[in-house]
Amino acid sequence: MARMQRLLMNLFDGWFQMHRRFPKALLDDMTHAIAQGEREHRGEICFALESRLSLDAVWRGMDAHHRARQVFAQLHVWDTEHNSGVLFYLLMAEHRVVIIADRGIAKAVTQAEWDAVRDHMLAHFSRGEWRQGCMEGIAEAHGLLKRHFPGNDKAKPDELPDRPVLL
């Protein structure tokens, strides 16, 4: 995507869309879905929503993947006992979804599997189905984690926030 196009998208898009597309009821449902699913595996899902990047960041060449890596560190997704964090990062202005799995998860779940989850979410988003895209993405992630990173019978601590983080 050309820099000028990205600048315009980040200037005029994002903030008001985030609050319209992610009302409190959807954030509550996402929180519940993340918390419920985490009981069945050793993974920790963190969902971060960002309306737009600063114009300075776009001008310097920051893209959604670079920003997702920053958010991964900022939210301490890497700092779980079993390196079992997974970040869903949505950049509203550019219609980007990035899923980053920590090294413990990446040993078991391939990036291609995460890319398939992302693609399913983006397909829903392109049709304006924000709730469906998020809820199915969370469910698919739980399915992958349950299959590749199953839990044991012991209760595990909840190491990352279940509620989506608004940046």
Provide mean pLDDT across the span 107-121: 95
pLDDT of residue 21: 85
Is the predicted pLDDT of residue 106 greater than 60, yes or no? yes
- Residue ranges of the domains in the chain? 3-166
- Lowest mean pLDDT, pick from 41-45, 58-62, 140-144: 58-62
45 neighbors 138 (Cβ within 8 angstroms): yes
pLDDT of residue 45: 96
Average pLDDT, the chain: 87
- Sequence letter at residue 120: H
Is the predicted pLDDT of residue 46 greater than 70, yes or no? yes
Rounded to the nearest 10 degrees, what angle do helices 130-148 and 24-37 cross at? 10
pLDDT of residue 155: 60
pLDDT of residue 93: 80
Provide the CA 152 distance to its chain's centre, in angstroms.
25
pLDDT grade for 11, boundaries at 50, 70 and 90: low
What fold, for 3-166? Diaminopimelate Epimerase; Chain A, domain 1 (3.10.310)
CA–CA distance, 114 with 18 (Å, rounded to integer): 23
Can you say whether the dihedral through the CA atoms of 118, 135, 83, 66 is positive or negative? positive
Provide mean pLDDT across the span 95-105: 94
- Enclosing H/E stretch for 97: strand 96-101
Contacts of 38 (CB under 8 A, 6+ apart): 44, 45, 142, 158, 162
Q: What is the pLDDT of residues 118-164, one digit of tens each?
A: 999 999 999 999 999 999 999 999 999 999 888 765 567 778 889 99
Burial of 5 (0-12, 13-18, 19+ CB in 10 A): exposed
